[in-house]
Amino acid sequence: RWPSLLKYYSHTDGVSWLDEYKARHKAGLEAQRIVASFSKRFFSEHVPCDGFSDIETLGCPSHFFEDELMCILNMEGRKGLTWKYYAKKILYFLRQQNILKNLKEYLQRPTDRQSFLEGAVLIDQYCNPLSDICLKSVQAQVDDITDKVRKVLRTRNPRHPSLAPKAGEIPIPEVELQRQVLDAMNCVLYEQLKYKGNELDYYNSLNSYIHQVLIRRTGIPISLSVLYLTIARQLGVKLEPVNFPSHFLLRWCQGKEGSTDIFDYTYIDAFGKGKQLTVKECEYLIGHHVTEEFYGVVTSKEVLQRMVGNLLNLGKRESTDQSYQLLRDSLDLYLAMYPDNVQHLMLQARLYFHLGIWPEKVLDILQHIQALDPSQHGAVGYLVQHTLEHIERRKEEVGPEVKHRSDEKHKDVCFSIGLIMKHKRYGYNCVIYGWDPACMMGHEWIRNMNVHSLPHGPHQPFYNVLVEDGSCRYAAQENLEYNSEPREIPHPDIGRYFSEFTGVHYLANTELEIRYPEDLELTRATVQKIYSSGKERFLAGMQGWE
């Protein structure tokens, strides 16, 4: 019935399968109840920070609850979009909470038990909680590469100590034996498997995720360095991470073990196909001189800090993701490592304030900042005042605004909720999820968007649309036209507003239909008129209405 749960049982365990079945069935009903409640509770806002409180106090095994969420997400067809949307949010939250717990446990271990690879996997898991990423799988892929290196090494030196069944670390004086390992690694990684630094798409977040580095065989200096260092250590060569500015490196000791002389080391550029560099060549790499401190070894926590810092910078650059999910995730990770960092706490407070989400959490963060650094009182006071105003406005909100097509002021609104449209000027495909009889944006937005240059200016209906590139836009009626070949819009928020894609249009979910009660009939009539040519897609869509 639930085959994905088999991994939680051993064949030798004495299990009461009836009790297990009852527990899983009960967890499934509870998950369905909670998912169904989310649309009504949180349609008008992001799920608040305390919105998951009833999930955190579940009276059933969490893996049963997660399994039901996965069943919802894997439902076939184009139905159940709203359930899938909220099931995904709940699963995202549950898995991230568990990964944060694992990260904090990892950071509390002695440094010699903090694997660089495990740290990279934890970051990867937190930013991609719905992907199937686990340390065991990643380690198996690294082990496979290590075995390939051993095969090359065996052809070059059949008696190499790294080939022994229980090979240990190669002593520092045996530089030539270590060099043979590194040469074999370079042969396998860069010549056979074609790993390379991603120079063409350097600022892609996938370059920072270790499981993607293994799949795509490309990355940035720090992710490739973690892979390179892990393989080398498994083969007995102790490489160390170097937090070199602008370009992460590894170092390989050529002198006395533990030497503080930077000239006793060769520096390795995993991004540059394992090239071995002198101190002077490291400076040529980045184009300027640096002090000796930048050649020193760093801890696993500092390596993770730099990896998360890279993701933070990418999150700030992200322009299409209006939820700033990468920035939010990387801030969570950074503050898990450095919970009292005022700069990043302030960034988190400003981000939530900007997004208009979690005002109560914003106040908690600001209170923490004020306790850590009273000199921040000006910025803190400003945000506190405006956050309190936001909370008061939310309390004053009455029920949802209902827009009837039959109202005289709505007579010029031609299009309806759920229709697949095309922008005449920019060519993007989109779906309508809201409309106003005239432009409701402020004067500054109207001026910046050059709305007055349109023939009808702001005095025409405007539509809220979800765009195929993941953005949300506000489009003038005269700029939209029916899409002659309607198709699904791959937008992350599609399930927030729609329950089903019929093949030619979207069906509003209950909460959206309450706000636009007369649109469904108009949408139905519109698509009958547009697609009356008897296309198979239209007929298939009509079956969905029945």
Mean pLDDT, contiguous 10-residue spans, the chain (546 residues): 84 85 92 88 64 68 90 89 93 92 96 95 96 95 97 94 84 88 97 96 95 97 98 95 95 89 95 96 92 93 96 83 84 96 95 86 94 94 92 78 92 95 95 96 93 94 95 94 91 94 93 92 85 52 44
**Closest by CA position to 216, among listed 234, 193, 232:** 193
* pLDDT (0 to 100) of residue 236: 93
Amino acid at 148: K
What pLDDT is recorded for position 531? 67
Span 408-530 CATH architecture: Roll (2.30)
pLDDT (0 to 100) of residue 378: 92
Q: Is-contact 433 462, C-beta < 8 A? A: no
User: 3-state DSSP call for residue 238?
Assistant: coil
CA–CA distance, 361 with 117 (Å, rounded to integer): 33
pTM of the model: 0.87
Instruction: Report the Cα–Cα distance between both ends of the chain, in Å, rounded.
Output: 30
The answer to whether 339 touches 346, Cβ cutoff 8 Å, is no
Region of 204 please: left (phi>0), alpha (psi -120 to 50) or beta.
beta
pLDDT at residue 53, as a whole number: 64
Dist. CA 92–CA 344, nearest whole Å? 22
pLDDT digits (tens, 9 = 90+) for 500-522: 999 999 999 999 999 999 998 88
* Residues 331, 345 contacting (CB under 8 angstroms): no
CB 316 within 8 A of CB 327: yes
* 23 burial via Cβ count (<10 Å: 0-12, 13-18, 19+): middle
Burial (CB count <10 Å: 0-12, 13-18, 19+), residue 254: middle
pLDDT at residue 334, rounded to an integer: 97
Show me where the domains of the chain are located: 5-108, 135-304, 339-397, 408-530
| Spatial separation of the C-alpha atoms in residues 202 and 503, rounded to whole Å | 38
CA atoms within 13 A on the CB side of 171: 2
Question: How far is C-alpha 335 from the chain's CA centre?
Answer: 17
Contacts of 372 (CB under 8 A, 6+ apart): 340, 342, 345
Determine the 3-state secondary structure of 231 from DSSP.
Answer: helix
The amino acid present at 217, given as its one-letter code, is R
Query: Nearest CA to 103 among 300, 348, 362?
Result: 300
Q: Are 223 and 117 in contact (CB under 8 A)?
A: no
Residue 402 · residue 515 · CB < 8 Å? yes
Token reading at 267: 């520096």
CA dist 69 and 63 (Å) reads 10
